[in-house]
Amino acid sequence: MDVDDFKNGQTILIDKPLNWTSFQVVNKLRWAIRQKFNLKKIKVGHAGTLDPLATGLLMICTGKFTKTIDLLQAEKKEYTGTFTLGATTPSYDLETEVNETFSTEHIINKNIKDATKSFLGEIDQTPPLYSALKKDGVRLYELARKGETTEIKSRKITIFEFEITKIEMPNIDFRVVCSKGTYIRSLANDFGKALKIGSHLSALRRTKSGNFNVNNAVSPEDFILKLNGTC
C-alpha cells in the first residue's frame, strides 16, 4: 500500500491487546503511517471503543474512510467472555475491587442457562457509571473515580443471541450478539441480579462487527511490520 491508499481510505482490522485503550491503538497506527510516508498529518479513527480490559476486533479507518465510522459503529457485534458469579464490583468489571459477595452454592447449571432467556430481544439497559459517557461535559468515569454518583438514564438495546458456552463455577463463559450501544459490563451486572447472586465481567473479547471478523485482524505490531515491509 502507498500513501494514496491511506489518504483515499483504508479499514484496518486490529486485534486490540489487553490493557491498551482504543485511542492508544489509533495513535500508534497514525504515528506509524506518518513516519512511513513522512506526513505531517493524516486522519485516523476507530469504529467502536473497546475498554482497556477488553481484547479483540477494533476497526481503524484512515483518510476518507473516517466518514464511514458512524455506519460501522451501527453494525451488530459479537462478543465472547467470562462472567464471574457471586461477586460485584462498582465498575461491573475488574477495573475496581469486589465490593460485595454472595453464596452461589444453590445455583445449578439450569438456573444459569435459563437466565439468558430474559435478556433476549429489545431490553432496557443502564450504562455503567464507569463509562466514557458524558454528564454536563464530564466523563462519567471521572465522576465515579471521585466517588460521585449521578443518575444515568436507561437505553433500549437489543440482544440477538445469548448463550452460555462453559460453566466452571464461579466463572461462566458466554457468547453474545448485540446491537450498538450495548454494555457487556452492564449485562454482567444485570445477569447477576437476575440470579440474585451478583456478577461482574472478568474477560471480554469482541469477535465480530458486521461482516468483519477478528480472525482477519492483526496486532498493532504486526500491522506496523507489514507497513514497513519487514514481515
Task: Provide the CB-side half-sphere exposure for 206 (13 A, CA).
Answer: 37
The single-letter code of the amino acid at 230 is T
Contact 170, 62 (CB under 8 A): no
The catalytic residues are 51
- Residue 112, all three cell numbers: 444459569
* Cα 45 to Cα 68: distance, rounded to the nearest angstrom: 10
* Cα 126 to Cα 129: distance, rounded to the nearest angstrom: 9
DSSP 187: H
Helix H segments across 17-125?
22-37, 69-73, 109-115
Helix H segments across 74-211?
109-115, 140-145, 184-195
